[in-house]
Amino acid sequence: YAVLQRPDGHVVRSPAEAGAPGEPLRARVSEGEFTVRVDGGGDG
């Protein structure tokens, strides 16, 4: 699994907390981390 964090450090717990489309999120996984962006295409 991955832990997603907004730029302010807030941990994303639901699609509604992810932010605006295009906003970067930090994806933390067991072997490191990488950046992803909010798509806005999901229905939550």
Does residue 22 have a pLDDT over 60?
yes
pLDDT computed for residue 43 by the predictor: 61
Token pair for residue 27? Answer: 């994806």
Token pair for residue 25? Answer: 């999120």
Task: Tell me which residue has tokens 């996984």.
Answer: 29
More confident residue, 44 or 9: 9
pLDDT computed for residue 40 by the predictor: 80
Mean pLDDT (the chain) is: 92
Query: Taking the CB of residue 39, how many other CB atoms lie within 10 A of it?
Result: 9
Q: Please list, in sequence order, all residues whose beta carbon lies within 8 angstroms of the beta carbon of residue 2, skipping any fewer than 6 positions away.
A: 27, 28, 29
Give Dmax over CA atoms of the chain in angstroms. Answer: 29
Does residue 34 have a pLDDT over 70?
yes
